[in-house]
């Protein structure tokens, strides 16, 4: 398989690398191949790796789009909409596209890692039956746990290493990639406040969220954002989840967390990451939650749904990429 040949359908490929030299050797020919074929190329990486690629690509770097993964993918559920925008903007031209995206790095929290892995699977659902483009996802095998690499083999149809790309025998397929997501969530924080709510109880839910935010010292504007996100998820429970549910609220070292449980089930895997169209009926609550919160964990169990919303207390503590 030549790195230069355009693909006939969506190709989701993990690149296993160890050290900066292997990273460059795995990505630069891929990027050059795209440029030579006239394909738009978007690279979503750490600022350090972007500098490295700019240097290696020299003048060709001016034809590549770069974005900071720590900004785009702080909440991993915002990465698919970013790729979707890239694909849609270029779909009219009929050309093929290439992307490089490294959503998982050493330094992601355990919660973020699980959501990143879900994101990698959902890429297959979002693009697997659409127009042809090629997404290369670098994985640092030196720094990441073995279990993370094993999961990459399940979420990517192709895996390449040392210049050899192979079909991954462990790939779970498009359909299974969108199956209900049900790994257990960590236990709620100690002293979590709990509130049951029915159709008339949504105001009490948002007051609980507002109180949690203000008492934790979150600034007013982000407290309002968090309150609205919690409100919208609770409103979903009232409308679609059996008329009500239960909210748990607690503070964790650097963040506040609210979990809304109800008896409904989200049947659509991409429900929380499809950009709403201007038509009025489209649901927007989960989309909004992903734009306003630092992390959203959605779990669908046979008994119902749990949605956990995280907000960092101090926005300056934005996660940053650990230099390779």
Rounded Cα distance between 52 and 64, Å, is: 13
Report helix, strand or coil for 125: helix
Residue 93: partners with Cβ closer than 8 Å, 6 or more residues away: none
- Residue with smaller CB distance to other proteins, 1 or 220: 220
Interface with other proteins includes 221 (CB under 8 A)? Answer: yes
Report helix, strand or coil for 12: strand
- Residue with smaller CB distance to other proteins, 146 or 277: 277
Interface with other proteins includes 315 (CB under 8 A)? Answer: no
The window from 57-65, 86-94, 150-158, 286-294 that contacts other proteins (CB under 8 A) reads: 286-294
> Of residues 144, 148, 208, 309, which one binds other proteins by CB under 8 A?
208
Interface with other proteins includes 185 (CB under 8 A)? Answer: no
The window from 16-24, 123-131, 172-180, 201-209 that contacts other proteins (CB under 8 A) reads: 201-209
> Of residues 54, 106, 143, 211, which one binds other proteins by CB under 8 A?
211
The window from 33-41, 164-172, 219-227, 251-259 that contacts other proteins (CB under 8 A) reads: 219-227
- Residue with smaller CB distance to other proteins, 38 or 217: 217
> Of residues 285, 295, 298, 306, which one binds other proteins by CB under 8 A?
285
- Residue with smaller CB distance to other proteins, 25 or 204: 204
- How crowded is residue 305: how many other Cβ atoms within 10 Å of its Cβ? 23
> Of residues 35, 56, 61, 193, which one binds other proteins by CB under 8 A?
193
> Where do runs of H (alpha helix) occur along the chain?
19-36, 47-57, 69-72, 79-91, 110-127, 146-155, 173-177, 202-216, 220-240, 285-292
- Six-digit token pair at 207? 């007051």
Rounded Cα distance between 301 and 7, Å, is: 37
Interface with other proteins includes 78 (CB under 8 A)? Answer: no
The window from 34-42, 64-72, 103-111, 226-234 that contacts other proteins (CB under 8 A) reads: 226-234
- Six-digit token pair at 276? 């709403």
Distances (CA, A) of 282 to 227, 271, 275, 299: 21, 10, 10, 22
**Which letter does DSSP use for residue 28 in this model?**
H
- Residue with smaller CB distance to other proteins, 123 or 286: 286
| Least distance to other proteins, CB of residue 256, Å | 15
Are 158 and 14 in contact by the 8 Å Cβ rule? The answer is: yes
Interface with other proteins includes 114 (CB under 8 A)? Answer: no
* Chain centre to alpha carbon of residue 120: 8
Q: Count residues contacting other proteins (CB under 8 A)?
A: 36
Question: Between vectors from CA 226 to CA 122 and to CA 265, what angle results, nearest 5°?
Answer: 40
Interface with other proteins includes 251 (CB under 8 A)? Answer: no
> Of residues 35, 70, 149, 192, which one binds other proteins by CB under 8 A?
192
| Least distance to other proteins, CB of residue 185, Å | 18
Distances (CA, A) of 319 to 74, 141, 199: 7, 21, 37
List, in sequence order, every residue forming a beta bridge with 99; answer none if it has no partner.
42, 135
Rounded Cα distance between 305 and 291, Å, is: 20
Interface with other proteins includes 235 (CB under 8 A)? Answer: yes
Where along the sequence are the contacts to other proteins (CB under 8 A)?
Answer: 192-195, 199-200, 202-203, 206-208, 210-211, 214-215, 221, 224-225, 227-228, 231-232, 235, 238-239, 275-278, 280, 284-285, 287-288, 291-292
């Amino acid at each position: 398989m030549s790195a230069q040949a355009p693909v006939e359908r969506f190709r989701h490929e993990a690149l296993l690398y160890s050290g900066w030299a292997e990273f460059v050797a795995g990505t630069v020919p891929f990027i050059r191949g795209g440029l030579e074929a006239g394909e738009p190329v978007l690279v979503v990486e750490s600022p350090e790796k972007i500098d490295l690629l700019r240097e290696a690509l020299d003048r060709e770097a001016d034809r590549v789009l770069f974005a900071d993964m720590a900004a785009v993918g702080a909440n991993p559920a915002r990465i698919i909409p970013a790729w979707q925008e890239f694909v849609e903007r270029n779909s009219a031209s009929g050309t093929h596209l290439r992307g490089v995206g490294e959503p998982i790095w050493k330094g992601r929290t355990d919660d973020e890692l699980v959501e990143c892995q879900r994101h990698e699977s959902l890429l297959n659902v979002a693009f697997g039956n659409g127009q042809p483009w090629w997404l290369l996802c670098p994985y640092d095998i030196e720094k990441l746990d073995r279990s993370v690499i094993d999961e990459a083999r399940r979420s990517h149809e192709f895996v390449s290493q040392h210049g050899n790309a192979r079909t991954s025998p462990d790939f779970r397929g498009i359909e299974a990639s969108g199956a209900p997501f049900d790994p257990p969530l960590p236990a709620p924080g100690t002293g979590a406040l709990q509130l049951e709510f029915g159709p008339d109880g949504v105001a009490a839910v948002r007051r609980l969220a507002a109180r949690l935010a203000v008492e934790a010292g979150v600034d007013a504007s982000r407290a309002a954002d968090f309150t609205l996100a919690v409100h919208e998820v609770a409103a979903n429970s009232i409308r679609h989840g059996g008329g009500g549910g239960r909210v748990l609220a607690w503070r964790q070292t650097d963040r506040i967390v609210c979990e809304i449980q109800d008896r409904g089930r989200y049947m659509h895997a991409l429900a929380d990451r499809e950009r709403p169209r201007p038509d009025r009926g489209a649901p927007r609550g989960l989309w909004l939650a992903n734009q306003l919160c630092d992390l959203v964990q959605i779990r669908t169990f046979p008994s119902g749904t749990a949605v956990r919303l995280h907000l960092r207390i101090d926005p300056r503590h934005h996660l940053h990429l650990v230099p390779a």
